[in-house]
Amino acid sequence: MRKHLLQTGKDTPIERFYGVGAKRAEAFHKMGIETAEDAVYRFPRAYEPRGNVKTTAQAEDGEICSLLLTVAGEAKNAMIRKGMTLTKFSAFDNDGTCSLIFFNQPYIKDMARKGMTFRFFGKVKRERTGVSMTSPIMEAVGGAQPLRSLVPIYPLTAGITQKFMGSVMREALNAVQSETDGLEEFLPESLRNRLGLCGIKDALSLIHEPRVWEDTSVAIRRLAFDELYFFALSMLLYGKTEKFHVTNPYRNWDDTPFLSSLPYSLTGAQMRTVQAVASDMKSGNLMNRLIVGDVGSGKTVCAAYAVYLALINGKQAVMMAPTEILARQHYADLSGMFGKMGYRTGLLVGSMTASAKKKVIAALAEKEIDFVIGTHALIEDTVVFADLGLAVIDEQHRFGAGQRSNLAKKGSETHILTMSATPIPRTLAMVLYCDTDVSVIDEMPPGRQKVDTFLVNESYRTRLYAFIRKNIEAGGQVYIVCPAVEEEEKFVCENGETMTESEAIPIGGREEEKPRLKAAVDFAKHLSEEVFPEYSCAFVHGKLNGKEKDRIMNEFASGNISILVSTTVIEVGVNVPRATLMIVENAETFGLSALHQLRGRVGRGTRKSYCILVSDSKTQKARERMKILCESNDGFSIAQKDLEMRGPGDFLEQIGGKTRQSGEFDLGIASLEKDVKLLYTAFDEAKRTVAEDPALSLEENQILAKTLKSRLYKRGNALA
C-alpha cells in the first residue's frame, strides 16, 4: 500500500517516501540523505542521452542511442534454463527491423503489443543478420508522461537502484517545491537580478529534470555560485584566524649569523618574505602565514629563517613533509646548516626502527633536539615537545586541517608557517586564503637554468626515443609521466546495464572530445622490455604503497634508475640533479600549472635540461595552452593564464580547496564552472553583503543567515 506523506516540505524524512523502508532508509542515510532537501542536493553525475534518436540504418554497431520502433508481432516468452526467462520480439521503423531481447522481464510480453510504438534506449548490435538490442530501456511513445531527452545518473550505494533513486528524487523535488514548507529563496532578489541567476527551485529542477543539456549549465551557474558564495561568507565571517596573544614574546632578533651563513644573497621576494615572518613573530601574536612560491624559488630558506628565530629564542621547531623522501631531503639540506650554528637537528620518519624512533622522541621531550624534521610520524601521540615554538608544514595541501592543527597543538604557543609550491596567482591566493597571511615569492634566484620546452606529436616518437638515449648516454636521467589511467568510470543505468563515462553526457555538456590516453602499465612495460632493455627502468603508480614508492624514488635519486615512468605527479621538491629530461604523455590532459610543476623536476643540476610535451590533440584551445608553456618559464604568469583558460577548479584541487578550515564546503560542482569570474564575483558579493550587514540581521538577509548556519552545521562546523 502506498504511503501518504504526512509532511510535504523540504524537511520530509526520507522514510516517508514511497518504497523507502528501514533497509533503504539506512542506505540513504549512508549517503548523507535524511530529508527531501538532502536528496535534491545529491546531484547527478551524468545523464543518459535518451534524446539521441537514430534510425535502424543510422545506428552504428556498439553505439548507445535510442530507436523509435513499432512492435511488428506478438512477443514470446521462453524458459531457456532454470530461473532464466527470455522475451523476444521484433519492431521496425521506416529504415528496417530490429530484434529486441529481454532477460528475466516476462512482463515485457504484455507491454509489447503489436502496433504500439516505443522508444528503446540501449546498445545497438549490428550483424549481417540485422540490428538487435538486448535489455534496452523501453518507454511508450505518446503516453501520459512526455519522454525525457536526458535522464539523470546518480551516485548510488548498495540497496538503491538508479530507477528507484529517480523516483525518490521526483518526490523529493515535489516536496521542496512546496509553497508552505518548501525551500526558501535565500539569495536576495537584488543579487540574483544583478548576476542573472535563476531561482533556487528552478536550479534544482533544471539539474534533476533538464529538457536539454543547456538547462544544466543554467542550473550549475546558480548552484556553483551558491557554493562559492557560502564559502566566501564563511571565510569572511568566521574564517579569519583570531590573533592569539603570546604570553612570552620573543626578544632576540639578531638574524646576522643566519644570513651571513648563507652562500648566497636572498632575492627581493625572499627578503620581503623573511621580513614578514620576523614581523609576525615580533608582533606578540601567533603567526599563521603561508609562503607560496614556484618550484626552486627558495621557500625552504625562508622557512629555515623562521626556524632560526625560534631557536635563538630558546624554542624548539618542527618541519613536517608529506613524504619520507622529502623529509630526508630537508634533513640533508638543513641539519648541517643548523649544526654549524650549534643547534641539534633530528629526523623522525616511519621507516626508522622502533628503537631509533624512541631515541628521537625521548630527545625531543628532554629538549636534547632543537629542530626535528619528519613526516606524519610527528603527529603521533607519543611525540611530545619540551617547548615547541614553531611548526613548519611543507606542501600544506597534502595534510588535512586536523593534521596541521594537531601538530601545532604540541606546543602551548606555536607559530605556524606553511608552504605551497603551487604558483597560484596573487589575486586568487588572497581570495582563497583570506584566513591566512600570504607571502608570495614571485622571483627566481639567479642562476636557475631555463628548461627548454617543446611540443611534439606521435610522429616524433622515433626521434624522441633517440633523444632519451642521447640524454642517458650523456649521464642524465629521464622522467616519463602519463596521466593517471584508471579504468573509465562506469555508470549504472535504469535497466541495470552500464554506460561508460564517454558514452554518458556530463553535467553542463561535453566541451571537447576526450583524448585517447596512453595505457600507462602497458607503455611502461613496452619501454623497459622492448625500447630500452639496456637501461634500468622503473614504474611508479598510484596503487603502490608509500614505502615501495619511496624506495623507487630513492633509487632514482641515487642514479640507479635511468628512466622513471610515473602515472602520479612526481613529488614536488624531490631533488634529482642528474635528471635532464621530462617527457609528459597526453600533455593536453594536465593543467598548465601541473605541467609547469612537472617541468620543475628537471634542470636542478648543471646539465642542460629539456621538457617534451607529447600531444595529438587537434583542438585549438589545447594547442594554445601548450604554446604558453613552451614560451614561458614564469610559474605565476603560467598560473594566471591557466586560471583564465580553465577556471579555478584545478587550483581548488591542488591547494586543498575541499579541505578548508572554515566551513569545509564541498566545491565539487563549483569546480565544473570554467568561468573564473564566478569565483571572484562570489567573493565580491560576499564582501558587499558583509560590509552592508556584518551580522546578516537585515530582513532581506534573514533566510540567508539561517541557510548559512544550517550548511555550516551540517558539515560539523563548530562555529554554526
**Domain residues of the chain, as ranges?**
51-147, 256-441, 452-483+518-632
Task: Give start and end residues of each alpha helix (H) in 210-317.
Answer: 213-234, 256-261, 268-282, 299-312
Q: Is the dihedral of CA 153, 154, 160, 164 positive or negative?
A: negative
Looking up cell 622515433, which residue turns up? 462
Print burial letters for 528-537: b (CB count within 10 Å at least 16), e (below 16). Answer: beebbeebbb
pLDDT of residue 647: 55
Cβ pair 91, 120 in contact under 8 A: yes
Q: Say how far apart CA 106 and CA 86 lie, in whole Å.
A: 7
Strands 610-614 and 579-584, bridge-based pairing: parallel
Q: 561, 582 in Cβ contact below 8 A?
A: no
Which grid cell is 390? 614553531
**CB atoms closer than 10 angstroms to residue 510:** 12
b or e along 609-638 (b: 16 or more beta carbons within 10 Å of the residue's beta carbon)?
bbbbbbbebeeeebeebbebbeeebebbbb
Instruction: State how far the alpha carbon of 627 is from the alpha carbons of 450, 500, 591, 594, in Å.
Output: 16, 32, 13, 15
* Secondary structure element (H or E) that encloses residue 92, with its range: strand 84-93
3-state secondary structure of 662: coil
Amino acid type, 220: I
**Chain-centre distance for alpha carbon 281:** 34
3-state secondary structure of 608: coil
Read off the DSSP letter of residue 353.
Answer: -
pLDDT computed for residue 655 by the predictor: 45
Residue 391 and residue 318 in contact, taking contact as beta carbons nearer than 8 Å: yes
Q: Are 121 and 163 in contact (CB under 8 A)?
A: no
| Inter-residue contact 181 to 7 (CB < 8 Å) | yes
The helix/strand/coil state of 263 is coil
Phi, psi for 103 (deg, rounded to 5): -110, 135
Please tell me the number of Cα atoms within 13 Å of 87 on its side-chain side.
Answer: 17
pTM metric for this prediction: 0.61
Among the listed residues 329, 305, 301, 319, the one whose alpha carbon sits nearest the alpha carbon of residue 388? 319
| 390 φ/ψ angles, rounded to the nearest 5 degrees | -145, 135
> By the 8 A CB rule, do 315 and 248 touch?
no
- Phi/psi for 611 (5° steps) reads -130, 125
Q: What is the pLDDT of residue 662?
A: 33
CA atoms within 13 A on the CB side of 533: 2
| Nine cell digits for residue 106 | 516476462
Which among 414, 316, 413 has a CA at the least distance from the CA of 374? 316
Is 3.40.50.1370 the CATH number for 452-483+518-632?
Answer: no
DSSP 693: -
pLDDT in tens, 22-42: 999 999 999 889 999 999 999
Cα(34)–Cα(36) distance, rounded to whole angstroms?
A: 7
Q: What is the DSSP string of 442-505?
A: --PPTTPPP-EEEEE-GGGHHHHHHHHHHHHHTT-EEEEE----PPPPEEE-TTS-EEETTTSE
Neighbours of 495 (CB within 10 A): 18
**In the structure grid, which three cell numbers stand for residue 709, read together?**
548556519
CA 306, 308, 309, 311 torsion-angle sign = positive
Q: Which residue has the cell 552504428?
A: 60
Q: CA angle, corner 585, sides to 583 and 587, nearest 5? A: 100
Cα(571)–Cα(562) distance, integer angstroms: 18
Q: How far apart are CA 595 and CA 625, in angstroms?
A: 11
CA distance 380 to 358: 12
Helix 546-557 vs helix 324-340: crossing angle, to nearest 10? 60
Secondary structure class of 158 (helix, strand, coil): coil
pLDDT value for 589: 84
* Identical fold between 51-147 and 452-483+518-632: no
DSSP strand pairing (563-566 vs 477-481): parallel
Give CA angle at 287 (281, 290), nearest 5°.
120
416 touches 404 (CB < 8 A): yes
Question: 459 exposed, middle or buried (CB, 10 Å; 0-12, 13-18, 19+)?
Answer: exposed
Q: Which CATH class is domain 256-441?
A: alpha beta
DSSP helix/strand/coil, 231 = helix
Question: Mean pLDDT of successive 10-residue segments in the chain (720 residues)?
Answer: 58 91 92 92 91 94 94 91 89 95 93 94 91 94 87 89 92 90 92 95 95 90 90 76 77 92 92 94 90 86 97 96 88 94 95 94 96 93 95 77 80 91 67 73 80 94 96 95 68 72 66 58 87 92 78 89 82 78 91 84 88 90 88 81 62 43 49 60 89 90 90 54
For 660, list phi and psi in degrees, rounded to 5: -70, 155
Supply the mean pLDDT for the chain. 85
3-state class of 614 per DSSP?
strand
Instruction: Domain 51-147: give its CATH code.
Output: 2.40.50.140
